[in-house]
Chains A and B, each alone.
Chain A
Amino acid sequence: MVTFKDVFRQLIRDVRNEKLRTFLTIFGIVWGTVAISLMLAFGTGLHKNLIKQTAGLGDRIVIAWPGLTSIPYEGLGKGRRLRINEDDIAAVRTQVRGLKAISGEYETNMKLDYAAKTMSVDISGVTAEFGAMRNEIPQSGGRFINELDDHDQRRVMFLGDRLKTNIFGDADPIGKTVLLNQSPFQVIGVLIKKPQDSNYSGPDAEKAFIPSSTFRALNGDKYVDNMIFQAASSGETKQVIKDISAAFGKRLRFDPEDKEALSMWDTTEQFHFFDIFMLAFNGFLGLVGVLTLIVGGIGVSNIMNVVVEERTREIGIKMALGAKSRWILTQFLIETLLVTIFGGAIGFAISLGVCAVFPAQLYEYVGKPEVSPVVALFTALALGIVGLVAGYFPAKEASRLDPVVAMKL
């Protein structure tokens, strides 16, 4: 019996002896993997960046404002003011399927003092969930409001970046204390400079955020000024909007069709354009990818062909000594497989390396490139299959020859 170990030992020898060819084959696979992985990595980064740019307002969110009812409902007249409190939100949260996050938002204008400065500032009382939905990303060293802040009614504050500059100039504000209507608040974070081309109550850069519970305690507010929510996937947004209306309608007794009682702004609508744009962009990348694969595949298959041609004599000798064709083909198969895995792994590592050294300052413009292991795997596999097909069939041909013919070739 010829064992796998025998084949493997033979392979190690062959690889060691066929340095140049092995190197060229591996290089072909590495090159293809790197090219495609990086292209898609930058494509994905760009895509995400595009979404983030337009998502300065929020990550595919819906904003809802309670207003006056405009349709009589169950004996209640129109013109009634809708009031929503935290209990209502908590109840609705559990009722609507496909709802990923929801947060109330409380807003008012307050007097802020720091050192000799006094100014009037838009203050939002919000939760941790709000921060995630609205892309309130902190600059390094800081953080947004978290669940504990809200739970413990902490007096902490997250500043918009322009507001921070107005108050502190270039100084680091983290840990500093400011006065909000004479109550001390500690600054825990500053918003990164984010592109925000739409807003509903002033740009985030000029606002300050404090925990929702702290806001309510400070101002004696019970009812939200507006709510932000987000569906689990953008495709579910329309349905979630309907279900939210229905759930609040039932609880607060208004007609779910009453667009004025609870008016909504679906910001996901503006993403449709980008979805189409990205589809076209990905199609283009895919085409380039396929072409790269074909070019890489031709390279790999050429090398494999040469390998077989040069090895025909060796195959002949081995057959003369009693090697069966199965043995020769198995060796070829395993060899191609290992070379593919090896090349793919190196290609993946190189792609990761390139993304790692890619300057972070450029993320703002082209996004953060992200290498997908799946893409690398498939690329290497595709090239491996090309190599296998290119190598296997000639090898099979060679192993079908009479040994004497193969030896003379």
Chain B
Amino acid sequence: MSIIRMEGIRKIYDTGKVKVEALKGIDLDVDAGELVAIVGPSGSGKSTLMNLIGCLDTPSEGIYEIGGDNVAGVTRDQLAEIRNRRVGFVFQNFNLLPHITIVENVELPMLFGGVAVRERRDRAVELLTRVGLGERLDHKPTELSGGQMQRVAIARALAMNPDIILADEPTGNLDTSSGTDIMSIFTDLWKAGRTLVIITHDPALAKRASRIVEIRDGRITSDQRNEEAA
């Protein structure tokens, strides 16, 4: 079953003076259980595509269905609900709230999702323990290393048990060894049956994915299964 289905997706940024066509017609299906690596040069439209998949932004044209539901014409509140329940996002620059503890950060999606206080806390603790931060629950993000912050972000992405995990250059701000650690967490999640889409510059990391999609200048230029995955 495909979780993501895109057909003829175009995205045009209108900055007033100039119009930039970041995506020029994307057709993409992602099935449950896939680990998709998206590669391509900087400025080719990878992040734009990822933001559309995650419903952080809306396409200028084309059809987009997530979990079988068409995203076109839904209200802003419904979009918020989709982001909350179906998608877990991991960003290159972490996007954690700096002033609250990491447990509270992980609790946030559950707060918006209406999970009860106790359950929220228990699940946040459990997830953070699973990514190896069980000893630092009451730390603020700023007190952690980059690799640790990204692990918090992963725990947060898992909080609502989403259909799909999206990661936009999750290792881009990390040193090689913590990057490898983070990638291992993603592959472990994939082996446990989760669906992931990860943007990466690093060919070594891409090799661990089950499918590699290459984007150039707003178009998909190559889409290959990777038999030697993980």
* B97 contacts chain A at the CB level, 8 A cutoff: yes
Known: A2-B114, A324-B80. A13 touches B108 (CB 8 A): no
Known: A6-B111, A323-B80. A17 touches B95 (CB 8 A): no
* A325 contacts chain B at the CB level, 8 A cutoff: yes
Could you tell me if A323 and B95 are in contact, using CB atoms closer than 8 angstroms?
Answer: no
By beta carbon, the residue of chain A nearest B140 is A17
User: Shortest beta-carbon distance, B90 to chain A, in Å?
Assistant: 11
Q: Pick the interface stretch among B51-59, B63-71, B127-135, B180-188.
A: B51-59
Complex: A325 Cα to B77 Cα, angstroms: 8
Q: Pick the interface stretch among B28-36, B81-89, B211-219.
A: B81-89
Complex: A17 Cα to B104 Cα, angstroms: 13
On chain B, the number of residues with a Cβ less than 8 Å from chain A's Cβ atoms is: 28
Complex: A130 Cα to B151 Cα, angstroms: 84
Complex: A16 Cα to B84 Cα, angstroms: 26
Could you tell me if A404 and B97 are in contact, using CB atoms closer than 8 angstroms?
Answer: no
Q: Which residues of B are found within 8 Å of A20, using beta-carbon distances?
A: none
Complex: A359 Cα to B117 Cα, angstroms: 54
Complex: A5 Cα to B120 Cα, angstroms: 14
When the two chains form the complex, which single residue of A10, A13, A16, A403 contacts B56, counting CB atoms closer than 8 Å?
Answer: A403
By beta carbon, the residue of chain A nearest B89 is A320
Q: Which residues of B are found within 8 Å of A403, using beta-carbon distances?
A: 56-57, 83
Could you tell me if B104 and A402 are in contact, using CB atoms closer than 8 angstroms?
Answer: no
* B40 contacts chain A at the CB level, 8 A cutoff: no
Complex: A405 Cα to B100 Cα, angstroms: 23
* A220 contacts chain B at the CB level, 8 A cutoff: no
User: Shortest beta-carbon distance, B200 to chain A, in Å?
Assistant: 19
Please classify how large the interface on chain A is, using the bins under 10, 10 to 19, 20 to 34, 35 or more.
20 to 34
Known: A323-B112, A403-B56, A404-B57. A317 touches B100 (CB 8 A): no
* B25 contacts chain A at the CB level, 8 A cutoff: no
Could you tell me if B84 and A402 are in contact, using CB atoms closer than 8 angstroms?
Answer: no
* A321 contacts chain B at the CB level, 8 A cutoff: yes
Could you tell me if A322 and B76 are in contact, using CB atoms closer than 8 angstroms?
Answer: no
Q: Which residues of A are found within 8 Å of B83, using beta-carbon distances?
A: 319-322, 403
Could you tell me if B56 and A402 are in contact, using CB atoms closer than 8 angstroms?
Answer: yes
* A407 contacts chain B at the CB level, 8 A cutoff: yes
Could you tell me if A321 and B81 are in contact, using CB atoms closer than 8 angstroms?
Answer: no
Residues of A whose CB lies within 8 Å of any CB of B are 1-2, 5-6, 10, 13-14, 16-18, 314, 317-327, 400, 402-405, 407
| A-B CB proximity, top 4 nearest | A322-B84, A17-B99, A404-B56, A322-B112
Supply 7 further A-B pairs (C-beta < 8 A) apart from A324-B81, A405-B57: A2-B111, A322-B80, A322-B81, A322-B113, A325-B76, A403-B57, A407-B56
